[in-house]
Structure formats: C-alpha cells, structure tokens
Amino acid sequence: MDAVKYDLDGDVAVVTIQNPPVNAASHAVRAGLVEAVQRAEVEAKAALIIGDGRTFIAGADIREFGKPPKDPWLPEVCNRIEACKIPVVAALHGTALGGGLEVALAAHYRVAVPDAKLGLPEVTLGILPGAGGTQRLPRLTGAEAALEMITTGRPVSAAEALEIGILDAVQDGTPRQIGLDMAREAIAKGPRPTGDLPAPEAVDFDAWHAKALARGKGQIAPATAVRAVQAASELPFTDGLARERELFGDLMASPQREGLIHAFFAERAVAKLPELEGVAPRDLAEIGVVGGGTMGAGIAAACLLAGLKVVLVDRDADAADKAKARVASMLDSAAKRGKLLPERRSEIDSGGFRAADTYDALDASDLVIEAVFEDMDVKREVFATLDKVCKEGAVLATNTSYLDINAIAGATGRPSDVIGLHFFSPAHIMKLLEVVVADATAPDVVVTGFALAKRLRKIAVRAGVCDGFIGNRILAHYRMAIDNMVLDGADPYQVDAALEAFGMAMGPYAVSDLAGLDIGWATRKRKAATRDPRERVPGFADTLCEMGRFGQKTGRGYYLYPDGARRGEPDPEVQQILADERAQQGLTPRSFTDDEIQRRFMAAMVNEAARVVGDGIARRPLDVDVTMLSGYGFPRWRGGPMKWADMTGLDLVLADLKRFAKDDPWFWQPAPLLQKLVDEGRTFEDLNKEAQP
Ligand code: T1G
C-alpha cells in the first residue's frame, strides 16, 4: 500500500494518507504528499487532503526523532502545499495533531467532522510545532488563542476550532465527501495562503512567557514556544518560520525532549503483555467494591464514571449510607468538571449504583475490589467471605498497598481468581493502577486487570508481589534516604524545596502531610519486628504522630495549616523536635547543599528501582519509570528515574552510592543489577529493548 494515494474525482485531486495506525507523517508520507501536490497542480483544479482509517495525520512520526532527518522535511512539505497554484482543502477527522494540523494549516481551506479534535501537542513531547504551526496558527486565530493551544498542548473540538478561526466549516459526513464539497467551492475562490494573512497583533508575550515557565515546573518547551509565536507577530512570515526552526532545533536537542519521548513510548509499552497475547479478558459489567472509605468510594466513582455498574458493600447500614454520600459528592464534583453527563447521572441514580450492608449483594459482580482496613487478618476474613458469596469466575481483587497477596489469596479456595489492583488516592483522579500478579493468578485474570484499567482510562503497570510492590517499595527507600538526611542535619523544608526544584510535583514532606502521617506510622509499627538491625531509625516521624500531628487533616504535620490552608507553613516546633532528637542521639548536625539532597534522593530511588527490576517485581526499567511518573509526581520531562539514571550515566550514580556508603554501608549498598550494568557498559534502556516483543 502506498503511504499516499492519489485519485481524481472530477476536477478534484484526492490525496489520501494511508499510514496506519495514526497516519503519522513519516518520510514516505512526506515524499508522497509533495509528489501528489505537484501532480494535482498539473491535472486538477483543486486538491483535497484526507486521512484513511481512524484519523487525519496525528503528527510527525515520533519514531524518527533523534535520527538523521530525511528530505523532504515537514516544513518544506507544508510550504509546498501552501504555494500550490490550485486551492488545497484539508478535511479532518479523528485527531489532527502536531504536524498533522500543520499540514492542514498550510492548506488553503479547512473543514472537519463534528467529533474531530485539533491540537498542537508538541510541548508535551518537549518540542514546539516545527512545521510552521507557530506562525500560521496565530495568523488565523490571533496570538492569544494560538498561545493557549501551543503552550498547553491541549486539543480543541471542531466547534471550538470553527469559533476561533482554524476551520472554515464543520460538517457531518465522510471526510472525502465534505472535503469534495468544499474543494468544488474553492475552485472559484482560488488559493488562499495562510502565510499571506497579516501578522497577529502583539500581546504581552513576556507575561505569557513567565506564566509558561511557572506552569512548566522546570519544563522549558512551553516558554520557548511563546517566543516562537512572538516571532509571528514581530517578523515577516519567512523570517518567523526561520526563527521557529531555530527554536525547534534547540528543543529537539534537549534532554527534556528525550525524557518526554521516552515517557510517551513507555506509557504505551506498559500495556503490552506479549506473554499473554491472545488471552481474552473476563466480562466486566458489574463491579463490586468492599469498603466505602475514601479509597473504596473513589474506586466506585472511577468505575461509575467509566460507565460500569457498581455495588458497594460496607459493614452496616450506617457505613453504607456514608459511603453512598461520599460517592455522590465525588460524582457531583466530576459533573461540575464536565466529566459526567446528566443522562449518565440519572442512570447511576436509578440502579447503576447500589450501596449495601451485606456481602450477598456481590453475588452478581464480575470483579470485586476490596478496599478495607490495611490489616492481614481483616483482609483474609473479607476474602474468605467473598469466596462464599461471589459467583464462579468472578475476579477477586485486593487494593492492598503492601500486604502479601499470596497470603490473601490463600484465604480463598480459588487463588487463581485473586489479583492485586492497587489504586492511588484519589482513585477517580489518579492515573496509575498497579496490577499485582500473585503466584497463582490466572493469565485471564491479569488480562482482565489491564482491561479494567483501559476502561477506567488508567495506566496499568504489571507488578510482582513484595512489600510495597513497585511504587511504594521504591518510595519507602527514598523516604529513608531523606529522613536520614534530616536526622543528620538537613532541614525538611529545604529538602522539599530542593526536590521541587528538581521537578517533583510536591516535596516529600508536603506529600506526607497530604496523605496523612498516620499511614507511615502504621507501616513502621508493622515492620518494626522484621527490621534489619543495621537500619537507622529516625524517630521524629513517630514523635509527630504521638503529638497528634497527622498532617493537613489535623492542621499540623511537618507543616502548619492555619485555618484549613492547603499550602503549609514551616513550623519552628518541628525544627525543635529535630534538634532535640539529634542531641539525644549525640549527632552533630551538618548542612546539605540542594545538589547533595537531590543526588542522595535520586541515588536511593534508582538503587531500589534497580533491585525491583533485578528481583523481577517490575518487568522492565520502563515499568518503573511509568509508575513513578503517573503515581508519584516524578517530573515527566526527566522521563522517569531509570531514564534519568541512563542520561546521567549509571557509572556516576554508582559512584555516588559508593561515596554515600562510606557513612552508611548497609543502606547504600549498590543493587547487583546496577553494578552489573556498569561493569558491562550497558544501560537500563538496553534492558527495555531486550524485553520488547
Ligand atoms: N508517531 C509515531 N507513532 C505514533 C504517533 C506518532 N506521532 N502517534 C501514535 N503513534 C503510535 C503509538 O505509539 C501506538 O503504537 C499507536 O500509534 C497507537 O497510538 C513537526 C514535530 C494519535 C491521539 O504528539 O496523541 O508533529 O504502541 O495507542 O489512544 O511540529 O497516539 O500500537 O505500536 O496512543 O488511539 C505530534 C501523539 C508529533 C500525537 C491516538 N503528535 N499521539 O491515540 O492510540 S510532533 C502527537 C497521540 C510533531 C511537528 C512535530 C495518540 C493519538 P503501538 P495510541 P490512541
């Protein structure tokens, strides 16, 4: 099949892009487009560009990034389309994104079907629109609307695109039909090059730049894109294109681009289960939830928002009522955000959601998710009951964050139906789902876990059973590194600031306050008996809990939250508690630079992550990256901890570990996998590649 098909429909040359799955503008597509336009100029009175299959062009071919460019480049293709002597129409459906939208902007007229989406998502990949998008879009929409689209990367609907001037019309029908109609009208009107339109009026570009920098949290592409749009308003069109090219080149060469592209492909790779190919998921019509606390209610809301039926069971009528109210308030706020249509809400209210106080209500559920108190005896009791009431073939899932799922499965007579589905709070908002596969879990149960994630639009990562699975196990380790630093003299507020400067969404102490300090307290008590005697045990976190300082919910934790404030203030009392503990342990406090804080934090994270991969808990390094990106606020533009380590140099990370090990050899002993990779001169990416299907 040719990447670009050419046929004549009367006077109109129809140019069809055929490059499944998303018609990315690969080299063959670019070359084919130029050839087709040249031919149309000779043979036809107008040309129409459409995409075959599910979408118009979804952008440049991301797989070609970082490889030597092959002529013609997309910018030249767009310029050639714009210079065409006969009118060119683009008819859009599906997602016209990035270079795809840029091809459409270079065409002379644009029409789309009503459910098409149009966007310039380049900044999410660490670059900016590099085929004229920053120059042509603002000429059509004005600078403000273009800046909004380009700096956020968010797509707009066809209706919105019509309103802001990108589209000439929105029409029902096939792209070919609506495009032909427009092309026939265009013959009389003639070509209309976007580049000939007047430059957009200036806006406060410095203010946009500052806003983009602040929102980027360390990411540079959105702010750089502002400068490209500014060039559209200040320079002649061709000079603006040259400026765009230059800025695009800078970003293309940046490590942020490498990190973001890694994240894009890693997120897609985690869902592929080559070893389970061909295994069909079980039915997922009705979901049962056990426990209506914050987590259980969030899981119920997530399932309801995805169109599933839900039955929630709690221990008595009062608890069931409270759970119902919790779910209702989550649905209300989803409705306010436009995530729940009124029709679906009435469906939910008229039987789509039930809360009950007896387990028998779960007898029709296809999959039951337990979200009760984190205690092995309680969980085993719940599973023994589920074993009695659930229908044959029902998937029995636990939302435990730490506990041994093999032991939980052992409480049933059907361990092959048992799996871990570890949601993150708030469950109807957070993207990550760890699918934890126990020893006896059946293959189709694993596939069903992934199918549920897809239905809920979550990113599922396969994990093995261990204390904390992938994410919380790594978290526990880097927490230990920072707690030890604080014990040795670092200020917790400096630690948070240094790690936010690194790009973490929130500092770890602010995260503790948000999640509740009692969670860690319970975990520490549970682990106390099995703790390695060589482990250092800072006591300040327990001290805070003993004082009733459980974080935001009690107004005090590591920070103070006067009058329900969401952002905390440093508290001298906490600094005093730390000083007292250091004195008691006979430690002379020392200071830490921000750089050392970041290096110790990352060395600990990467080291434990290497053990997680080495132990087979994560299938590949990229599974760790996706877990930390989508569940733990790791900066996406760094690609994830393993990508960060590869880009930093594994030998340098190992050297840091060995240096830190001088004061605490037990904690900092290098993971065997990391040592091995350094010895062999290989990287985590090499492991990712070897594991690809
Ligand atoms: N290039 C190469 N492969 C791509 C691709 C792309 N642009 N987009 C998707 N794929 C692959 C993807 O890896 C997956 O492959 C399959 O297609 C289906 O994708 C000059 C420089 C279009 C909304 O950022 O947002 O243009 O895993 O699972 O949920 O200015 O893909 O099956 O082997 O995501 O239906 C700008 C990125 C590029 C669009 C479809 N374009 N793609 O979502 O399917 S930069 C983008 C998406 C650019 C110019 C610049 C989504 C989608 P596999 P999928 P989906």
Residue 547 falls within a domain, yes or no?
yes
pLDDT recorded at residue 15: 98
CA distances from 306 to 23, 266, 342, 354, 631 (A): 28, 24, 14, 16, 20
pLDDT recorded at residue 1: 85
- The CATH number assigned to the domain holding 88 equals 3.90.226.10
17, 22, 73: residue to mutate for ligand 1 pocket, most atoms within 8 A of CB: 22
pLDDT recorded at residue 275: 85
Residue 665 falls within a domain, yes or no?
no
Compute the distance from residue 557 Cα to the ligand 1 centre, in Å. Answer: 43
CB under 8 Å to 244, separation ≥6 — which residues? 128, 129, 130, 132, 133, 134, 135, 228, 231
Determine which residue's CA is closest to atom 14 belonging to ligand 1: 268
Atom nearest to 75 CA in ligand 1: 20
pLDDT recorded at residue 209: 98
How many domains does one find in the chain? 3
Torsion of CA 250, 256, 262, 264, to 10 degrees: -90
Q: Are 37 and 88 in contact (CB under 8 A)?
A: yes
- The CATH number assigned to the domain holding 403 equals 3.40.50.720
pLDDT recorded at residue 524: 86
Is 122 marked active-site? yes
Q: Which domain holds residue 575?
A: 489-591
77 lines ligand 1 (CB under 6 A): no
pLDDT in tens, 144-187: 999 999 999 999 999 999 999 999 999 999 999 999 999 999 99
Residue 336 and residue 207 in one domain: no
Residue 122 falls within a domain, yes or no?
yes
DSSP of 390-404, one letter per residue? SPTT-EEEE--SSS-
Determine which residue's CA is closest to atom 29 belonging to ligand 1: 268
127 lines ligand 1 (CB under 6 A): yes
pLDDT recorded at residue 529: 85
**Residue 63 CA from chain centroid, whole number:** 19
pLDDT recorded at residue 692: 66
Residue 160 and residue 34 in one domain: yes
Residue 300 and residue 436 in one domain: yes
pLDDT recorded at residue 563: 87
Residue 54 and residue 150 in one domain: yes
Token pair 């090059």 in the structure block, residue: 193
| Nearest-angstrom CA–CA distance, 1 and 43 | 23
ipTM of the prediction greater than 0.85, yes or no = yes
CA distances from 657 to 97, 387, 509, 556, 589 (A): 43, 47, 23, 34, 21
Determine which residue's CA is closest to atom 35 belonging to ligand 1: 22
222 lines ligand 1 (CB under 6 A): no
- The CATH number assigned to the domain holding 549 equals 1.10.1040.50
Residue 33 and residue 75 in one domain: yes
Is 370 marked active-site? no
| Nearest-angstrom CA–CA distance, 287 and 239 | 58
Residue 427 and residue 337 in one domain: yes
95 lines ligand 1 (CB under 6 A): yes
Residue 584 falls within a domain, yes or no?
yes
Residue 682 falls within a domain, yes or no?
no
225 lines ligand 1 (CB under 6 A): no
Compute the distance from residue 61 Cα to the ligand 1 centre, in Å. Answer: 8
| Nearest-angstrom CA–CA distance, 628 and 95 | 28
19 lines ligand 1 (CB under 6 A): no
Domain boundary among 562, 591, 620: 591
Residue 436 and residue 318 in one domain: yes
Residue 236 and residue 300 in one domain: no
Residues of the chain where predicted confidence (pLDDT) is lower than 70? 692-693
Atom nearest to 99 CA in ligand 1: 26
647 lines ligand 1 (CB under 6 A): no
Helix (H, G, I), strand (E, B) or coil at 295: helix
Of 624, 667, 597, 661, nearest in space to 473 by CA: 624
pTM above 0.80, yes or no: yes
Domain boundary among 234, 253, 272: 253
Residue 266 falls within a domain, yes or no?
no
pLDDT recorded at residue 67: 84
pLDDT recorded at residue 387: 97
Compute the distance from residue 264 Cα to the ligand 1 centre, in Å. Answer: 9
Residue 614 falls within a domain, yes or no?
no
Indicate which residue of 43, 64, 122, 343 is catalytic: 122
Domain boundary among 543, 571, 591: 591
pLDDT recorded at residue 476: 93
